Chains A and B, each alone.
Chain A
Amino acid sequence: MMSYRNQVHIVSDVLFAVKDGHQDGIGIAQLMRKANLSYIRATKIIAELVGVGLIEEIKMEKFTKFKITPAGLEYLDVYKDFSEFAKNFGLTI
């Protein structure tokens, strides 16, 4: 059954998209497609995640790419552990 994603779920989807992208980084269009977000929503979340140091912005001549930081990887590990813990009780984060 389809359910709305909460903020934590959306952030983790963005981080997973950035993590699973190319090692040189992922562009905004690819990120929007993988995380299933609109341009406005994606840019807002990316700005927040860059601000707290979970992803880094790599500015190139014509475009910008995003890479996950060690803090972002750590966040994903914690998210996976707690998400699985809640899931094992039949619940979701």
Chain B
Amino acid sequence: MFDELKIVLEVIALVMAISVLFVSYKGYSETKRPVFARLSLAFISLSVNFILLFFADVLVIFGFTVFYGYLQIGASFFEMMGFFFLAFSHMVKASQEKKFAGLSLFIFNPAAAFEALSIFFISYATLETMISYHMNRSKIVLTTALGLMSFGVQSVLSWIAEFVSNPMFYQIFSLIFQIIGIIAFSLPIWIYYRGAKS
């Protein structure tokens, strides 16, 4: 039951990531602004991450556990890349606004695993999104920040689940935070399509 729910959430997350990718790529092709190229790269990576997670979990259900580890590592790598491009967009924005953008230099640890890097990148993206909210007080920006925060907490919980003997508690909460993150991320897409229709 738990694995099936996880797979359903992975498919929903994949659909969300592809929707954001579609709008970002359309934005890039129509405006040629690099911010949309970076968002497209971020969501291509996150889509690949969800595809690999989906295949990993489906293979486990059918009893093929041989490639599970490789798929998990691949998924973590693409997740890290996705959050890196998201954080990088914020770093570029911060440097354009002549704001301090060197936080990464203090926290970056090259020995850390992909998952730990994801947590760092998503924390940075969340922080910058919260700063954006502080500046323009848009509720949608706050929702996006909360979505990013949920994905961050989800990453932390799944990371902890790798090390504990009974990971069920962490996995369930990880799923709950993933659901919150997916719902929060669906809002900007919904608003875009509503705006494009009117």
A residues touching B (Cβ–Cβ < 8 Å)?
A: 1, 3-4, 8, 78-82, 84-93
Contact = CB atoms under 8 A, between A and B. Distances in A.
Interface in B153-198: 187-188, 191-192, 195-196
Contact of B30 (A1, A82, A92): A82
Nearest to A80: B195
Contacts, number: 81
A9 B195 CA distance: 20
B196 A81 contact: yes
Contacts of A84: 191-192, 195
Contact of A8 (B33, B98, B125, B144): B33
Contact of B35 (A3, A80, A88, A93): A93
A8 B31 CA distance: 8
B56 to A, nearest CB: 28
Given A8-B31, A82-B30, A82-B36, A89 B144 contact: yes
Interface in B114-160: 125, 128-133, 135-136, 138, 140-141, 144-145
Interface string B71-89: 0000000000000001001
B141 A90 contact: yes
A91 B27 contact: no
A82 B128 CA distance: 19
The winner among A79, A84, A86 for most chain B CB atoms within 10 A is: A86
B97 to A, nearest CB: 4
A87 B27 contact: no
A9 to B, nearest CB: 10
A91 B192 contact: no
